[in-house]
Structure formats: C-alpha cells, structure tokens
Structure 1
Amino acid sequence: MARMSCLEKSVSYVILCAVGILLFAPFVYMISIALASDSTTVKVAFTLIPREFAISNFTNVFTDYHLGTYLKNSIIITVWTVIGSVASASFVSYGFSRLRAKGSGLLFVALLSTMMLPGEVTMVPQFIIYRELGWVNTFLPLIVPSFFAGAYNVFLIRQFIMSIPKSLDEAAMIDGMGHLGIYSKIILPMTYPILSAIAIFSFSYNWGNFMGPLIYINDPEKTPLALGVQLISTASGGQMPPWNMVMVASLFLTIPMILVYMLGQRFVYEANINGGSSGIK
C-alpha cells in the first residue's frame, strides 16, 4: 500500500508539473515578446529566447505610448472600487446577519436573485441613467456602483459573520454598546480574512475591467490600463501592431493580479470555505 501511495503521489506531481508548465508557457512567451526588438516585431520572428533584446521597451512604452497615464487611471479606479466594495458589503452584511426585521429574509433572497441577471440585460439601462446624470466620460460609472454592495460580496460576508457567536454581541450590549459599536469594534476586526478576500476579488475584476471603460470612457487621458492595452495595439494606424509594446503593457496588467492573488490566496480559500459551508440561514 505504501508503494502504491508513493506511486500515486509521484504520478500526481508529474501531472501537476506538466499542467503548470502548459499554463505558464504563454506567460513566458509574453515576456519573450516584450523583450523583443522593433526589427523582430516587424518581421514577426518571435522566439522563446529573443535574438535581439530590447530592455528599452520598458521605458519607451511610458514615453511613447502613455502607459503612465493608463496606470495612474487604473490605480485611481481600482483603489476606490476596492474601498467601496469592502465598506458597503461589510456594512450591509452586518445588517442582514444581526438585525432581524419583518421581510429581511425575503429581501436577502431578492438581493441574491440579482446575481442571476446577465450584465447584458442591465447594460443599456445603466448607460442611459449615467448619461442623464452627466457621468459619461468620467470615472464615476466605474466607481460609484461599488459603494452599493454587490450581492455576492454580501452573501460571503454575511455567512462569515453568522459563524461568529452572538454571545459577543450580547455581552457588548450589556456594556452599553450599540450596533454601530459592535460592528466597528467587534465584527470588523474578526472578519478581516473575508474582507481581504473581497478586496482581492474586487481588485482582480476592476484592474482588468475592459468593458466598463470601453462603454463610458472616451478621453484617452482618462483611459485605464485594460483599455489602454487595446489602444496601444492600434497605435500604428492599420500597420503592424507594436506587439512588443503591447506585451510590455500586458505584463503591467497581468503581474499585479498574479502578485495580489499569490499573497492573498489563503484569504480566498477561507472565504470559499466559510461562505460555502455556512449555508443560507
């Protein structure tokens, strides 16, 4: 049995390594193209190890293709959406998990049912509303919705809060603490893992969000990085796209998401375990 177990483990490691190499290969090729020279790009003679290295691509993309502006806009949008997602979802989740009112269960089910609506259904009505508000070509349509508590975030945090004993709340109430104090001084510190996971989810979505800026942003000076990569690919005006510069910009789009997930993957795991095991109560 021990030999069989060792054999099975070895086979599993071999399969995982093969799959890992297969999934990592496009990223390696992206780095190779990002380091390729302009002459290699024009000939489309890309190889795994570039024949002509051009480290200057990582500076030229800032001076010639406005990557710094795209990065700044993405940082502004992402930071505010992460703050809005975490703050609003945690506050609403506390209400659903600790405050009992007539119809609260039905309201929570209605909130969850919004997750079933495809984004294409609400795309046009949302655009009309934001246009009437004068928000088109601003960051507001990309930031403000995050301050209204996404249903999935509320569900995860609510399930996490419901696993916290209510005896802590009762002890705090005996000491004269109200709901706002319980929320800020007891619940928030204990929900740090799930809030970190929500922040990671929000960062990943908004850092790579392409469709939202494509719909609402018209000014290149307000373009975030995800849409900026597409603008760089069309900068040559119908000629051969500068693929080396596109890949450099793509690295700036990809690496932050990889690093954030690597550093916070344990919070994502805890969120899935606690959110999935508690059930809807």
Structure 2
Amino acid sequence: MNNKQIKRLREVWALPPKEKLLLVIKYAFLIGLTIAFLIPIVWTISGSLKPSGRIFTVPIEWIPSTFHWENYTNLIDRFPFFKYALNSFILVGFNMVFTIISSLIVAYGFARFRHPWNQKVFIFVLATMMIPPQVTLIPQFLIFSSLGWVNTYLPLIVPNLFGSAFNIFLMRQFIMGIPRSLDESAYMDGASSFKILTKIIVPLCMPVIITIGVFTFNSNWNDFMGPLIYLSTQEKYPLQLALYTLDAGRQGLTDFGMLFAASIVALIPPLLLFVLLQKHIMAGIKLGGSVKG
C-alpha cells in the first residue's frame, strides 16, 4: 500500500460506527452489482473453452475440466475473422474522424459565437436526442436507396459528417470551461477563428475528444442494426453482423464454442480501449458534463 491508501484506511477506521456500516453496505452493493454484470462474461469465456455439447449443462461448469483452445483456432481457420474485423475497423475509423471533427466545429460555434438564435438553435439540436431512431429508420432507408447507397458503407458513414447532439453538447460544455481570455489574446495577435480552434481549443479539449472517440468506437463497433439494414453482400459485413452468420440454429448446426470464442475476441478491442483511456474518459465526462453558460 502507498501512503495515500494508508491514509484513506485510517480515515475510514476513524469514522463513527454508523458511517462505517453505511460504507460497508455501499461497497457490498457495488461489489454485488459488479459480480452480476460479470457473470455473463465469465460464462461466455467458460463456454468458449468447452465443446458445444457441454456449454449448456446444468449445473453450469464454470471452470472447464479440459480447456478446448481449438474453438479459437477453428475461428481463424474456418471463419474469415480478420476480414470482418478489418471491415469493422474501416467503419469505426471513418466514423470516429468524422464525428469528432463535425462535433468539434459545431460545438465551437455554439460555445464561442454569439447571435440571437444561439440558445434556441442549441436547444433544438438537443431536442433531436428525444427522437427515437426507429422513427427515422424508414425515411433514411428510402433516401439512401434513392441515392443508390444501399449495400455500400456510405449510409453507415455519411450521417456522422453532421455530428451528434450528445457529442456536441458534451464538447460545447467543455469548450465553455476554457477561458475566453485565451481567444482574445490570440485575436489580438492576429489569429483567425480557425487557428484558435486548431491551436488552442483542440489541444485543451483532448480529454473530451478522447471520450467522444471512445464512445463512437464502441457504438460503431457494436452496431448490428445499421449493417443489417444496408448491407446485403456478406464480404462487406462488419464483425458484429458476421458473427450472426455463425448461428445456424434453425438447422441445429451452430458451433456455440466457436461462436462464444468469436464473441470474446470481438470484445477485446473496445475493452482494451477503455482500459487504456479510462482516465481521459472520466476527465472528459466530469469536465464536459458540467452545465455552464
């Protein structure tokens, strides 16, 4: 233990009995929730190391007596996993870049440029978050179909050129926390609005930019409905949709061991991204989520 942890333990030990009890109850509740959320993941990992016939046995065999690593080797040999993963990374990469750039530009306009309709337009943008995506699903499909974009990646990428309300809100709140004096000093030195955005605002907004990037990565990496609607050629499938092709349950031919192995491998990129960037994510949410102005 370091000195900070020892100091924290001493503070807890010095608490009155009632506060100690409440603290124990709180942590017990949080630990219970953590275990409840981890049970499906642990079961999937266990199933990925067992043959299909032993995955659904009752009682559950949490630790396999023999680890069947062939589920992972079969995934590589019998399933074009890396091709589908590459498709996912292509979609995720374009969407991350377009979402961050568009949200940053719009948020900068709302945070720094004043006009009579500023607040009203911003509220209108936020109001779009209340529209369920199912409402716009058919009109969007008809529009993209008339443009000849069906069975291409364009319907899955182009909408992100216009940002999203939540990301714009998060980034606007963060920018409003940056002192305007920095902008004014740059203006006095002859800097344009674009230069202020790229040289001052962007470096200071890195925590919220990383946060939005991670959120965008997760939402697009796990997107199933969009590719299912717009893509009809299997070679273009991203990973999450391609995993659906492994399920031949109606014929009773599903290799659940390999399916579970594929699910675990597909979970690694977003999980690894979150673990590596969690400090920046927490900072972006904490500073960007505060309502100012």
TM superposition score normalised by structure 2: 0.88
Partner SS, residue 51 of structure 1? coil
Other-structure match for 1:118: 132
Residue segments in structure 1 that go unaligned for 5+ positions in a row: none
The Cα shift of 1:237 comes to: 5.9
Other-structure match for 1:244: 257
Partner SS, residue 218 of structure 2? helix
Please tell me the residue identity of whatever aligns with 1:256: P
CA shift digits 1:211-269 (9 cap, x unpaired): 101100111111111111211112x6611421111111111222222222233233333
Which residue of the other structure, out of 274, 281, 284, is the alignment partner of 1:268? 281
Other-structure match for 1:201: 215
1:103 to 2:117 alignment: yes
Moved more, 4-13 or 196-205: 4-13
Which residue of the other structure, out of 272, 275, 280, is the alignment partner of 1:259? 272
Distance across 1 between alignment mates of 2:215 and 2:43: 27
CA shift digits 1:46-87 (9 cap, x unpaired): 621223422121121122122222211111111111111111
Residue segments in structure 2 that go unaligned for 5+ positions in a row: 1-14
Distance across 1 between alignment mates of 2:26 and 2:124: 43
Other-structure match for 1:213: 227
Please tell me the residue identity of whatever aligns with 2:278: Q
Other-structure match for 2:70: 56
Please tell me the residue identity of whatever aligns with 1:255: I
Q: Does structure 2 retain, via aligned residues, the 8 Å contact 1:29–1:48?
A: yes
1:91 to 2:105 alignment: yes
* Map 1:61-210 → 2, pairs under 5 A: 61-210=75-224
Q: Does structure 2 retain, via aligned residues, the 8 Å contact 1:37–1:53?
A: no
Q: Does structure 2 retain, via aligned residues, the 8 Å contact 1:88–1:147?
A: yes
Distance across 2 between alignment mates of 1:103 and 1:2: 54
Please tell me the residue identity of whatever aligns with 1:5: E
Distance across 1 between alignment mates of 2:53 and 2:34: 32
Please tell me the residue identity of whatever aligns with 1:268: I
Distance across 1 between alignment mates of 2:67 and 2:188: 69
Other-structure match for 2:16: 2
Q: Does structure 1 retain, via aligned residues, the 8 Å contact 2:75–2:258?
A: yes
Query: Matched residue pairs, number?
Result: 278
CA shift digits 1:100-157 (9 cap, x unpaired): 2342322222211111111011101111111111111111111111121111111110
Distance across 2 between alignment mates of 1:179 and 1:15: 49
Q: Does structure 2 retain, via aligned residues, the 8 Å contact 1:77–1:139?
A: yes
Q: Does structure 2 retain, via aligned residues, the 8 Å contact 1:160–1:278?
A: no
Q: Does structure 2 retain, via aligned residues, the 8 Å contact 1:32–1:50?
A: yes
Distance across 2 between alignment mates of 1:99 and 1:17: 46
Partner SS, residue 53 of structure 1? coil
Moved more, 252-261 or 166-175: 252-261
Q: Does structure 1 retain, via aligned residues, the 8 Å contact 2:50–2:68?
A: yes
Distance across 2 between alignment mates of 1:157 and 1:21: 33
Please tell me the residue identity of whatever aligns with 1:205: S
Distance across 2 between alignment mates of 1:233 and 1:51: 26
Q: Does structure 1 retain, via aligned residues, the 8 Å contact 2:92–2:220?
A: yes
Partner SS, residue 62 of structure 2? coil
Distance across 1 between alignment mates of 2:103 and 2:36: 37
The Cα shift of 1:20 comes to: 1.9
Partner SS, residue 10 of structure 1? helix
Other-structure match for 1:24: 38
The two structures, once aligned, show a CA RMSD in angstroms of: 2.0
